[in-house]
Amino acid sequence: MKLASLALLFVINIWMVVAAPAPINYNDGTFNYWLSDTDKKATVMGVDPKFKDAYELTLNPWVTYNGQRYYVKQIGAGAFSNTQVVDLIVPSDIEIMNFSSRAFFNAQYIRTIDLRNQKVSADIGAFENCGRNLSFIGKGVESLVDSYSKNLLKQWGLPVNKDYTNLPDIDRMKDLYTLARKVSENISYYSNTGNPSNTAVVMVFGKGDSNGIARVYRNLAINMGIPINDVQVGGDGQYFSWNYVYVLRKWYNVDIIHYKFGKYSTYESSLFTTDRNQREVIRKGYGYSSVDDVKPIKKWIIYINRYNYYDEWKYNYPYRQGSNTEIFEDWLIRNRQGVRAD
């Protein structure tokens, strides 16, 4: 009887799969879509030929077919490939937007993706081989970065939203070390892009300047589970940026660009350096003959803006326009955040 029941269930499941309605192909004059009757979802699958060289396009929040609304929630693979679209706007009345892998493959002309909606996610490779001037703006940048961060952490075998509260600091340091190593292996130090310090751009392109790489490391660490105040982006206020991390009851420097990762080691405490050691790293980086030529440690800064995109101050509390940096020492005192490893 049990075997018969299982056989019947198998047949029913097969019938349901076979009987599932195929997606409907639809064109609203601007975009080609796949429409799903199952969940009333519309996926953008391409741009109509007459709009492939449009300067600016705005996605529709929904399309109507046979009197039914289908809500636009996804950009499918290849949808914007090889188009000459420059600016794409995702309007605020789109509830959820996901960019599929290779959705913008070889979209060399794309310059701005304006995420005016709240919830945005992207698969790894969604923006592969896009033009070098791509930038992300709008309140959806935060959820885009969080989504992409979680995808990268899973791909790299690192935890997501881990609770470090009752764990010894060595657990936190090992994960932060592994994360730094993965960032070093997968994100190149390269400033020849239009937006090398924009967190989202550096994350999806896999290349950026020292500030962009430090921002990516911070956002990945936060999504890994490190408290938001325990990992920061800092620098000397001139050209170099790195990270400050709070471990062992002090603030240490993590400089992914200049650190020489051991070939076979899974953890090296030397990644976490004191201010004195970091000052020597900066001296060598600038080619100064003396550490006295390096900007004094007391004047090193912290970056308040988390993502570094245009008009971020409108969405990212408590960052405010015109105040994207603060002296690190002042920030520590004002927020009672402890002391530095000197």
pLDDT tens by residue, 243-288: 999 999 999 999 999 999 987 788 999 999 999 999 999 999 899 9
The predicted pLDDT at position 9 comes to: 52
**Domains delineated in the chain:** 1-131 (3.80.10.10), 160-342 (no CATH)
CB 304 within 8 A of CB 325: yes
Q: Residue 20: which pLDDT band, with cuts at 50, 70 and 90?
A: low
The predicted pLDDT at position 317 comes to: 62
Asked if the model's pLDDT at residue 15 lies above 60, the reply is: no
pLDDT tens by residue, 151-178: 999 999 999 999 999 999 999 999 999 9
CA nearest neighbour of 134 among 102, 87, 183: 87
CA nearest neighbour of 75 among 121, 138, 15: 121
CB 319 within 8 A of CB 312: yes
pLDDT tens by residue, 196-254: 999 999 999 999 999 999 999 999 999 999 999 999 999 998 889 999 999 999 999 99
Give this prediction's pTM. Answer: 0.90
61: phi then psi, degrees, rounded to nearest 5: -70, -25
At residue 44, what is the residue type?
V
At residue 51, what is the residue type?
F
How many Å apart are CA 244 and CA 231, to the nearest integer?
6
Per the model's pLDDT, the better-predicted residue between 98 and 262 turns out to be 98
Helix ranges, the chain (H): 2-19, 141-155, 169-186, 199-205, 210-224, 275-286, 328-335
Place of tokens 């081989």: 129
Quote the mean pLDDT of the chain.
91
